[in-house]
Amino acid sequence: MQFRSSTQKLMFLSLLAATAIVLSYLERMIPLPFFLPGMKLGLANIITLSALYYYSFKDVLIVVIVRVFVTFLIVGQTMSLIYSLSGGVLSLLGMYLLIKYAKKWISPIGVSIFGAFLHNVAQLIVLALIMSSVSISINYGPYILLTSIGTGFFVGITSNIFIERIFSEVMRINHIK
């Protein structure tokens, strides 16, 4: 994407990070009807996914890392930092590769489901490492992985609307090609 200045680029990336932080804070207030450790909607993924369609990998990585660290400062749980960081970076990497090599054949919904899936896979790996037990991860596996289809679908639809109605419009108004 062509920005008119580095300040403009910095401004847009900060705006994205700020939106993602608010979204991750908001989703903590939404109670989910399941008692699963680490189960979240992944609303911040809307920002990561939409940004991947417009920004370079490095830029989105910065947005993800800033989001994770600031959310950690607000929430203050070391565990959630490890989880969010591993999940966020792994799902970002997977979604980036999908968009880069298979953009023609896949819609944001598919990318989002894949991202949510990788996010949960990363969490299961971290869980296995912390508890030194693969068996525990496999026990939670089916439930957590199945939820990634649901949450990924929801986030994908929202990202699609976000890209079409807001993102492209903001770009047009600000004359960014």
Partner 1 sequence: MKFKIGDFIVLFVVLSITIITFVINVERSFVSKNMEVVVSVNGEVIDQFDIGSDIRKVYDTERGLNEIVINSGKAYISDADCPDSICVNTKHAEKNGDSVVCLPNRFSIEIIGHSEGEVDAISQ
Token code pair at residue 87: 């999940």
Query: How near is the Cβ of 31 to partner 1 at its closest, in Å?
Result: 12
Binder among 49, 51, 63, 98 for partner 1 (CB under 8 A) = 98
Applying the rule CB under 8 A, the residues between 62 and 81 that interact with partner 1 are 77, 79
Token code pair at residue 22: 């608010």
Establish if 125 lies at the interface with partner 1 (CB under 8 A).
no
CB 115 within 8 A of CB 94: yes
CB 119 within 8 A of CB 90: yes
Dihedral of the CA atoms 109, 89, 42, 142 (nearest 10)? Answer: 80
Query: How near is the Cβ of 110 to partner 1 at its closest, in Å?
Result: 3
> Smaller CB distance to partner 1: residue 43 or 111?
111
Say how far apart CA 37 and CA 29 lie, in whole Å. 15
Query: How near is the Cβ of 65 to partner 1 at its closest, in Å?
Result: 23
Task: Give the helix ranges, DSSP H, for the chain.
Answer: 6-27, 44-52, 57-75, 78-102, 108-131, 134-161, 168-173
Q: Which stretch binds partner 1 (CB under 8 A): 5-13, 40-48, 55-63, 131-139?
A: 131-139
Query: How near is the Cβ of 60 to partner 1 at its closest, in Å?
Result: 20
Which residue type is seen at 128?
A: A
- Using CB under 8 A, list all residues that contact partner 1: 35-37, 77, 79, 98, 102, 104-107, 109-111, 113-114, 117, 127, 130-133, 135-136, 138-142, 145-146, 148-149, 157, 160
